[in-house]
Amino acid sequence: MKKILGLVAGILFSVHGLLIAQQQELAIIPAPKSVNMLSGTFQIDAATPIIAATESARKSAALFNEFLAAEHGISLKTSLIALPAKSIVLEEAGDFSSEEGYTLRVEPDKITITGKKAGLFYGLQSLLQLIQHTNGMLQVPGVVIEDAPAFGYRGIMLDVSRHFFTGDQIKKVLNLMAYFKFNRMHWHLTDDQGWRLEIKKYPKLTQVGAWRDSTIIGQYYDFKPFIYDGKPHGGFYTQEEAREIVRYAADRQITVIPEIELPGHTSAVLAAYPELGSFEVKDGSLPTGTIAANNEKGEPYDNDLGDAVPGYWGVHYNIYGPTEKVYGFLQEVLTEVMDIFPSEYIHIGGDEVPKDHWITSEIAQKVIKKEKLADEHELQSFFIRRIEQFLNKNGRKLIGWDEILEGGLAPNATVMSWRGEKGGIAAAKMGHDVIMTPNSHLYFDHYQAADKTTEPLAIGGFLPLEKVYSYSPIPDTLTSEERKYILGVQANLWTEYIPTNNKMEYFLFPRALALAEVAWMAREDKDYQAFTKHRLPARLRELEKMDVFFRIPEAKVNISKDEASGRHMVSIDPLVAQAKVYFTVDGHKADQTATLYSGPFATPIPGPNQQPLTLRYIIVTPEGRSSNQFEAEIKLP
Ligand code: ACM
């Protein structure tokens, strides 16, 4: 009897175990809040209709179809009314508790997605990620998913100033962002090295400001004086192209937030309109007093004269003058910007503003005196308040980098905390909204390996996948009341060292997938082991089919003791499904001539006085792309 009970318990246990295993094997990123597996599967074929009664549901169905066509070669018909066939039903429910939440129910004869507009879109993204292409059939496992995001702001910032990227590349990234349920694209459109948006009233911003004649090669510190590549670089988006990006993003539930930097990062503007700086222009040139600072650093480009768009990185001295002329200019620029971008937020930068020019500028010093300001920091705050009043009057909200706290925060400003979390914490304590984007965890221009020589040139830092995943946007030091001001998170992709589409994708992926879970999932539900066990490998395999040039991450290497044999076993599990691994344990190079990994192997054992062994391996994806060579010390547990 005991034996039978044991057997029954064993079967129950293994059924339960199987269910848990199945849940874990759903490869949706970000993982949904609640998953309950059902028996059976739904089979999608060309005869399966999508029932979509509302216009927004039909729009989302059309995008779902685009994906199906691209990835699985079929397209479904959309119907306004229910049909007797097995179908995918989109129920737009006005009373659904969350704007972005949804319920997805997959049964053998029907798939139902319920939610509001954004929720339906996200339900369809989850459905796409559930489709398994097996034996020529598209199958979806039976399941009930209830889902909603932890944070309302889930963003990625793309810098298109340091290097220009075409609208098609921006759309590719937006499409991927939507697939992983991001909802904000912060578009860094202006900086010292290029102005990228057509402004009708100020045509020289793009005629002059969008082009530089040369760019430094290598890392900023590699060559002093700098060596330039001698190649012109530039480009800009016409207003029509920018509107098209805004529409494309909106269809995918993404708001585009434009950034127009002020009062610093303005070399490209001043190259076009030098009279907007802090000094009076006489005979086409500027006084030299403050300009020597740059030259003392050995920077050969004399662009602080405002006569050329610089092709080197770092914080530049050029800043706007605090004049009525400049406020007028900015208001006219922002009026055109607001007409293109319906986003509630307009980002005004505010970061990295050296005050040298204001210290020596008669114009700036006069304003400080007249307005009874304590110093140049208060002058910056005064400047930004002027802009905030203008934005607020036009029904928009100002958002800026955390330096906007210095000299006093504008009354309704939202703070983007980038120099760690300090600025975000201070702003939340003052009752201001905050987006967390700390350079400790969310600067995707940082290196992805500790050994920089194994990676393509980056700005610096070291930000591995697991560190991104470990980030939690709510600082423990905040009270529950203050926590409400943390609206969400964003990764920043600065592009000083990212001039190509492949490199952009390499730095974004797979780290953006880790961020997707940080932004969508409750802190307590996140689990890096579960993320990398099945979800990430499945999605990276798919990203390869989608032609995304992601970085192939290090495999999971594990050494454990096999109790039966007493031997220590090494396992190497790549994070791309169906990838091959080639390895050596003798410390020599691993390439495709090395041993093909076929499962856990017993480690060779060095003698008592010998060095530990080094495992070297490469990962080769199903499409044949090879990773860097990785290594791990074989240390017995
Ligand atoms: C920044 O990284 N300067 C916001």
Asked whether residue 289 carries a pLDDT value surpassing 70, the answer given is no
Question: Whose structure tokens read 């050494």?
Answer: 559
The closest-lying atom of ligand 1 relative to the alpha carbon of residue 492 is 2
What pLDDT, on the 0 to 100 scale, is given for residue 286?
53
Structure tokens at 92: 């737009």
Structure tokens at 552: 């192939």
The closest-lying atom of ligand 1 relative to the alpha carbon of residue 443 is 2
Pair (535, 605) in one structural domain: no
Structure tokens at 561: 């003791």
Q: How far is the CA of 613 from the centre of ligand 1 (A)?
A: 42
Structure tokens at 491: 């990764």
**Residue 150 and residue 84: Cα distance in Å, rounded?**
37
Q: How far is the CA of 471 from the centre of ligand 1 (A)?
A: 19
Cα within 13 Å of Cα(210), Cβ side: 19
**Residue 535 and residue 176: Cα distance in Å, rounded?**
16
Q: Would you call 261 helix, strand, or coil by DSSP?
A: strand
The closest-lying atom of ligand 1 relative to the alpha carbon of residue 494 is 2
Helix ranges restricted to H, 114-260: 117-130, 167-179, 204-207, 239-251
Mean pLDDT (the chain) is 92
Q: Is 115 exposed, middle or buried (0-12, 13-18, 19+ CB in 10 A)?
A: buried
Asked whether residue 607 carries a pLDDT value surpassing 90, the answer given is no
Pair (143, 168) in one structural domain: no
In a domain, 10, yes or no: no
Pair (285, 352) in one structural domain: yes
| 8 Å CB contact between 498 and 449 | no
Pocket test for ligand 1, best of 259, 418, 436, 445 (most atoms within 8 A of CB): 418
Q: How far is the CA of 419 from the centre of ligand 1 (A)?
A: 8
For residue 470, give the nearest of 414, 532, 425 by alpha carbon.
Answer: 532
Pair (116, 188) in one structural domain: no
Pair (500, 561) in one structural domain: no
Asked whether residue 17 carries a pLDDT value surpassing 60, the answer given is no
| 8 Å CB contact between 431 and 409 | no
Supply the CATH number for residue 91's domain.
Answer: 3.30.379.10
Asked whether residue 499 carries a pLDDT value surpassing 90, the answer given is yes
pTM of the model: 0.94
In a domain, 18, yes or no: no
191 flagged as catalytic: yes
Q: How far is the CA of 407 from the centre of ligand 1 (A)?
A: 18
Q: How far is the CA of 470 from the centre of ligand 1 (A)?
A: 22
In a domain, 21, yes or no: no
**Residue 397 and residue 474: Cα distance in Å, rounded?**
22
Q: How far is the CA of 451 from the centre of ligand 1 (A)?
A: 24
Structure tokens at 203: 């045509």
Query: Which of 525, 545, 565 corresponds to the end of one domain?
Result: 545
Share of the chain above pLDDT 90, in %: 84
The closest-lying atom of ligand 1 relative to the alpha carbon of residue 439 is 2
Q: Which of 71, 241, 332, 352 is catalytic?
A: 352
265 flagged as catalytic: yes
Q: Which of 147, 191, 259, 445 is catalytic?
A: 191
| Phi (first) and psi of residue 464, to 5 degrees | -75, 165
Q: How far is CA 370 from CA 327, 365, 384, 385, 595, in A?
A: 17, 9, 17, 16, 76
Residue type, 365: Q
What pLDDT, on the 0 to 100 scale, is given for residue 11?
46
**Which H/E stretch holds residue 138?**
strand 137-147
Residues whose CB falls within 8 Å of the CB of residue 199, separated by 6 or more in sequence, listed in order: 205, 206, 332, 333, 336, 337
Pair (137, 284) in one structural domain: no
Which structural domain range is residue 63 located in? Answer: 34-147
Q: Would you call 275 helix, strand, or coil by DSSP?
A: helix
Tens of pLDDT, residues 87-138: 999 999 988 889 999 999 999 999 999 999 999 999 999 999 999 988 889 9
CB distance 418 to ligand 1 below 6 Å: yes
What pLDDT, on the 0 to 100 scale, is given for residue 360?
87
- CA-nearest residue for atom 2, ligand 1, is 418
Tens of pLDDT, residues 532-555: 999 999 999 999 999 999 999 999
**Residue 151 and residue 99: Cα distance in Å, rounded?**
12
CB distance 313 to ligand 1 below 6 Å: no
| 8 Å CB contact between 168 and 139 | no
In a domain, 5, yes or no: no
Q: Which of 265, 347, 357, 568 is catalytic?
A: 265
CB distance 444 to ligand 1 below 6 Å: no
CB distance 351 to ligand 1 below 6 Å: yes
In a domain, 355, yes or no: yes
Q: How confident is the model at residue 466 (pLDDT cuts 50, 70, 90)?
A: very high
In a domain, 7, yes or no: no
What is the bridge-based pairing of β-strands 630-634 and 153-159? unpaired
Asked whether residue 295 carries a pLDDT value surpassing 50, the answer given is no
> If you average pLDDT over residues 301-328, what whole number do you get?
80
**Residue 351 and residue 384: Cα distance in Å, rounded?**
12
Structure tokens at 114: 């319920």
In a domain, 2, yes or no: no
Q: How confident is the model at residue 357 (pLDDT cuts 50, 70, 90)?
A: confident
Q: Would you call 147 helix, strand, or coil by DSSP?
A: strand
Asked whether residue 319 carries a pLDDT value surpassing 70, the answer given is yes
Pair (358, 211) in one structural domain: yes
CB distance 459 to ligand 1 below 6 Å: no
- CA-nearest residue for atom 3, ligand 1, is 351
For residue 171, give the nearest of 109, 267, 273, 246 by alpha carbon.
Answer: 246
Structure tokens at 405: 């706290």
Tens of pLDDT, residues 18-42: 444 444 479 999 999 999 999 999 9
CB distance 179 to ligand 1 below 6 Å: no
Asked whether residue 464 carries a pLDDT value surpassing 60, the answer given is yes
What pLDDT, on the 0 to 100 scale, is given for residue 471?
98
| 8 Å CB contact between 489 and 519 | yes
**Residue 69 and residue 75: Cα distance in Å, rounded?**
5
Pair (131, 157) in one structural domain: no
Q: Would you call 481 helix, strand, or coil by DSSP?
A: helix
Pair (302, 355) in one structural domain: yes
Q: How far is CA 520 from CA 113, 179, 441, 517, in A?
A: 19, 13, 16, 5
Query: Which of 545, 580, 605 corresponds to the end of one domain?
Result: 545
**How close are the terminal C-alpha atoms of the chain, in Å?**
41
Pocket test for ligand 1, best of 352, 405, 459, 463 (most atoms within 8 A of CB): 352
Pair (538, 562) in one structural domain: no
Q: How far is CA 508 from CA 338, 463, 488, 549, in A?
A: 28, 11, 18, 9
Query: Which of 481, 515, 545 corresponds to the end of one domain?
Result: 545
In a domain, 25, yes or no: no
How many folded domains does the chain comprise?
3
Q: Which 3-state string (H, E, C) describes 515-526? A: HHHHHHCCHHHC
Residues whose CB falls within 8 Å of the CB of residue 282, separated by 6 or more in sequence, listed in order: none
Q: How far is the CA of 443 from the centre of ligand 1 (A)?
A: 9
Pair (137, 158) in one structural domain: no
Pair (332, 414) in one structural domain: yes
> If you average pLDDT over residues 204-231, what whole number do you get?
93
Q: How far is the CA of 421 from the centre of ligand 1 (A)?
A: 13
CB distance 401 to ligand 1 below 6 Å: yes
CB distance 107 to ligand 1 below 6 Å: no
CB distance 443 to ligand 1 below 6 Å: no
Supply the CATH number for residue 293's domain.
Answer: 3.20.20.80
Supply the CATH number for residue 575's domain.
Answer: 2.60.40
Task: Provide the angle, in degrees to the nearest 10, between the axes of the packed helices 55-72 and 117-130.
Answer: 20
